[in-house]
Structure formats: structure tokens, C-alpha cells
Structure 1
Amino acid sequence: ENLQGDIQPSLALVLLFLRDVEAAEKDIALQRKIVVTGSGKKKLVRLEVNNIDPAANIRRITDNINATIMLSGTFSPLEAYELYCLGEEGRAKKLSLPNPFPRENRLLLAAKKATTYLEQREDIDNREEISGHIRSLIECVPGNVAVFFTSYPMMNNYRDLCLASSRRVGKRLCVEPRSAEEVPELLDQFFSLGARGGGVLTGVCGGKLAEGIDYKGEALKGVAVVGLPLAAYDEIQREINSYYTMKYGRTKGMLIAYTLPAINRGLQAAGRVIRAESERGVLLFCDRRFKDDDLGGVNRFLPSWVRDELIVVDAREGRELIRERIKGWGGENKAVDDPGGGSEIIPDGGSKAGPHKRRGARRGSKRDLRELARSLGLGGHSPRGNAAPRGSGRSGG
């Protein structure tokens, strides 16, 4: 289909795909997998061929032109992305720049105790720490806030907590829908809450709401990244890990294949908050691995400005710091003892429960794909990457 929904069969595309399927027999950078989507009787099965190593394709461009500049606000450390993008160390001139926005306009916190590490995920004290951090963000930051989890099951596990905290301060809960078609309507509703009491958006790192969307102005005042968003350790991920370990050795290979994408998802989610020099916001990394370098910690891989500004706190300390910073910014904490309030849930699917259904809201309507792309802010992204080939200009970090 094209953007207008017209079917345009192309034998050339079919032949190119079959060529890639055949090439995957010998090229270990080409990964074949069978993907099943849908539920119940309505399931779709497709065969995919994915190139898990972009270096060869990027080098076809960079090696044949005079200069290339690649930059991103989240790619760190630069040396790892040089390997990932160009497949060679010392190929690029690398430059990491400081955050250009005023430091006093942001508060960066990292959990001292809380973690979503599998072996401690269900520990009672650990769950209470995570819950305390989430409550602090929702209840102490005025206006719109977002809580991004590592997976949909985890998001659902903390849904009641988010709802209760939202009601306590008169905010409304918005839950990331499974269908991309429902995202524009959900975002319209969430953005409108910024100027009238505030909303709480729950989603997934690397999902439809955590990347590629510009939350400007009153759209977002605080973000919590709950957990280190590592990919599911399934057969596909093990194959990717094996490929990069074989190519770069155990330490560098696992960093590029497994750890680096998780860090990027976390930084992308946190980066939704402050989008302009005049904006203020709270960034909370709710997992102790963001402040650690041992036991799977990733602190040394974070951008230098993040490492320098991170304040390590437990849930109680974090709450006090957030309150103090909000007061210094001239904001007010809107605490409400009555949990009844006018809070509402926008559940999976984008519709609201109860009598608060928005008038004129479109439900179930399939939007033109071009309109959806515009609503999601697609088509205007900064180029991804963080390394510039030798002889070029400089790259940004």
C-alpha cells in the first residue's frame, strides 16, 4: 500500500526481498525471523530479513564523499557509536558538547535503591521504593508528567498506583494504546491537560510515546524512566549479541548489541521533557543501575552532563528534592486529600472511562497515514548517529 491506501504490487521489490533471503544464508549480518502478530483467530505471519549491522551501508556513503557530519543528543559513548556506525575505531573525529540549556532549569535524579533487575523485581521493599519514586513525580511536579516503563506488563503492574496518585492531586491518567492509530487522539487529550490540572502519561521506553514526539511548553514537566530498558533476552537478541561479540570481542560486542540500545531508549524517553532553553523539568531515572558502574551499571556510558548532574536519592529524599526545586521555580504543589476528584483513565485504545468522555472525540476511525505521520512528528527528525568520518566536520554528542 501507499499512503493513500492503494495497492501497488511490485515484482522488483519481491525479487529484492528474495535476494536478501538468499543472501542471509551466508551473510551473518542479515537476520531472518518469523514474526506473528495479532491475537485470537486474526493473526498475521510474516518473514522478515533485517540487517543488524548498519556499518557496511553507512560506509558506502561516507567512504565516497568528502565530508559527513552525524550528530545526536543521546548517543553516548561516542567511541561505541563510532564502531556501531562505521565498524572501525579511529575513523571519525569525535566531539562531545555540553548541554546548551541552563542547568538550573532541570533536576536530574537517580534511584539509590530501586531497580527492575529481574531477581529483585518482586521484592516488597524494592517495589515500595519504585512506587515511592513514581508517586513523587506524579504528586510533586505540577502539570503534565510521564512515566515510561521497560515493558507493557510492567506498565500494567503499576497502573493502579499511577491512577491512585493521579486522583490524589486531581490529574488524569492517560495510558499508551497498543494501536498506533489511536496515538494522535491520545496525545491531543494529554496535551490539553497541561493547562487545566495536568495529566499523567504512562508508556513504554522505545514505544510510540517515548521517542520522536516533541512535548513542548506545558506538554510535559517531568519524566520517570522506570528500569533500564534492556531488550527481551530471546533467541533473536542472543543472535545479535553473538554477532557483535564475534566481531568486536565480549566487552565491546555486548555493549553495542545489548547495553547501548537500552541506554539510548532511556535517554530518549528522558529527553522528552526539556525541549527549549526556557523550559524546566524533572528527570528521574528510577533504577540504581543508572548511578552504578558495577552489577550491570551503566553510569560510565551516560553523557558527561548527565553524570555530572545526577543526584542519587531514595524515594523519600527524592520527594523532598522535587518539592524544593519546584518551590524554587515558583511552582506550587497541588495536593488533594480527597481521592475522588475528577480523574479519569484513558485506557488502552485511547477512550476515556466514565462520564468524562471528550465530546466529538473520534474513536476507531482510521486516519490517513500521512496525517498520522504528521501527528507523530515524523519526517523531521535529526539524523541518527554520533560519529563523523575522518576529514569531515565535527559530530555532536
Structure 2
Amino acid sequence: MRAPLKPLDDALADLLAQATPLLDVERVDTFDADGRVLREGAASPLQVPPTDNSSMDGYAVRVADLAGQAGAELPVSQRIPAGSAAQPLAAGTAARIFTGAPVPAGADAIVMQEDCEALAGGERVRVNAVPAAGQWIRRAGEDITLGAQVLCAGTRLGPAVLGLAASIGLAQLAVSRRPRVALFSTGDELVMPGEVAPEHMPPGAIYNSNRFFLRAMLRRLGCEVTDFGIVPDRRDATLDALRSASAEHDLILTSGGVSVGEEDHIKPAVEALGELRLWQIAMKPGKPFAYGRIGSAHFMGLPGNPVSSFVTFSLLVRPFLLALQGVADVAPKALNATAGFDWPRADKRREFLRVRLAADGTLERFGNQSSGVLTSAAWGDGVVDNPAGQTIARGDRVRFLPFAELLS
């Protein structure tokens, strides 16, 4: 009797339990750390900004010197560009100041230059607006306080975080090494673009699209990819590829050959070389997904149908690889959205429907939800995560997983 299909959430929990973070840590230049995963947190050795500074070009004043009247005239006692030191502001004077420049001691407001009029060649200024105390002053430490925990281990580094690291003086960061992934496809029907022209394709042949998007998705996740190409549908060839790939890689990722046909050699080959711990998930598309171990290498087998491969990578392989690098939160951020379509055919498996955002903010569904129609993934903005046995009516609230989350 065939074992029941594994629920997706249970399968993901099992996978993440196996994803022990890689031990190797590298120090890389902050310039080169985009997309890497931080392994050491950092507290700020300084406050940002270091001193009170002006957020506008204008004049630093004492509010009391203006006596609450617009049009007051004051002598200009100093000029303060960004990067220079300021002298205390003498009572009854103004200081010409520029964005980012330190606010002189004694000044309690900045008046933007559009509200001022320079007189006598810049030696005096007429202040045509009465400022509130503290106006246009950025206070010392308002962004980062001294000793604050700024970076946390397990953070996946992006442009804003790298800028934050630089703002506290970090020229290098400790990150996880890149996972080493062996990638190959199985199937005698597969042909690489460029090898055979479309008009010369033999009967039954198809171009290998999975190899292209899987390789791109792996690289987006910071992996070092070894491409083993297309492995023939033979047991000996499959065994040789798996044996070779297991030697120096953290993960072996295959596409195709994980079903139950006579030409599907992945499952028995993995069992011959190691162990298969997970096989077949209660999801649509993507049921024939496999996980196991060959020596020290993890193994994941994806379905051959392109949408099935795309979806299972997004929902299972992606979080596993992030966890392998030490990412603290691997769950994609889902949104509540409104269905602009009907889906009256409930399935016994959890479904992932390709959709995109319409102009009115609702989700529209791609017409053909077949697991072989890769057009649906290129057309869509994400998937609706629809529970097993659930129908959808236009106007229902649904769980939407944007591709911006699943492909990042």
C-alpha cells in the first residue's frame, strides 16, 4: 500500500530540521557582501549622526533673536560647510549653514535658504519666516545610538543593510560561505538551446528550460553552482552522476526522473548510494519531490514539469538553502489579497495557482494552470496558496505569495 502524501508544511519542517548551517565563515569586503548571510552581529561603536547637523541649506539661528517676527535682520557671523567645525553662535547673529554641516552651539533652529534673503553681499540676512525650535536639525544619534545592536547574525545582506554597516565603519563582514550545489537534469528527450534548431528538433524532443531557471535561482541565493548538464535516462549514468556530485557538494539538485516510471532512475539510484527520507508531497503542482542524503551531501529531486520544478524550488529548496547559510527567518512574506476570479474545482491537494495583480488591485488567474505551462510563471506576479479542498469565488480573500518574495 502506497504511503500517504506528505503535507507541505510537514515536509518543509523536516527539511529545515536537516539544514544545519554551514560551519565555514568568510570575511568579505562590505562592498562585495550583497546577498550573503551575516554570521556575526555588530554593535555600533559610534552614534549616527555623530553631532547635531543641518538637514537643509540655510541659516542657523537662535529663535529668541527673531523675537517672533518675520523679517528680522541679523549679521552673518560664520559660514559652516559640511565637514567643517563650527564655532559657538554669538547671540544676535546667524550662521550660513549647509546640509550635513554641524549645528553651532547656541543655535536652536535652521531656517531654509528659501525663507531668507541675503543682504550686503552675504554679510547680513533677512529671515522671512519664524522657525520652531529644533526646525531642520538632525539630532546626534537619532539614527543609531552608541552601542546599539545594528546588525544581527542570520541577516541576509542587501543594499540598505550594507549601507548601514558602512555607516558604523565596518569595512568587512563575516558571512557564511556559499553553498556548493551540483545541478543536473535527467531525460533523453532534453535538448539544449543552440544545439538543435527548432525546425530540426527530433520527435518527442524538448528544450531544457528547467536548467536555465534553476541555475539562475541558485545563483540568486548565493550558491556556487556546478552544472553537470543532462544525464541520460540510464541507471548507470544516474549512479555515476550522483556519486560524482556527492563528493564535493553540499546539495545535489536534480530535475526530472523522480516519478515512478520505468525510465525514472533517480529514486532507486539515491537509495542505492545513500537514503531517501522524503518522497512525494501533497501539493499541486509539485507532488514528485524527493529529499535524501548521499554521504555528506543533501539530495533534492525536483519534478521534470517546469512549473512543478519552479514551484517546489521556491517553496522547499529556497528556504532550505537559506537555512543552510544561517538565515534566521526563511519564510516568504505572504499577503492577503482579493481574488478577481472563480476557482470552483477544489482539489484534495494544496494548490498554488499562478496569478497576477490586475489594475483594480485584485488577482487575476492565468487560464491554463497545467504544470507544464511555464508561460504562467513568466506572466504571473506570484501564486495563490489555496488550501486542499478549498474553492475560490470572486471577491474572496486569499493568501498571495509574490514572486518578489519567492525569487529573492
TM range (shorter): under 0.3
Identify the structure with bigger relative contact order (alpha carbons < 8 Å, sequence gap 6+). Answer: 1
> Normalized per residue, which structure has more helix?
1
Structure-2-length-normalised TM-score: 0.23
> Normalized per residue, which structure has more strand?
2
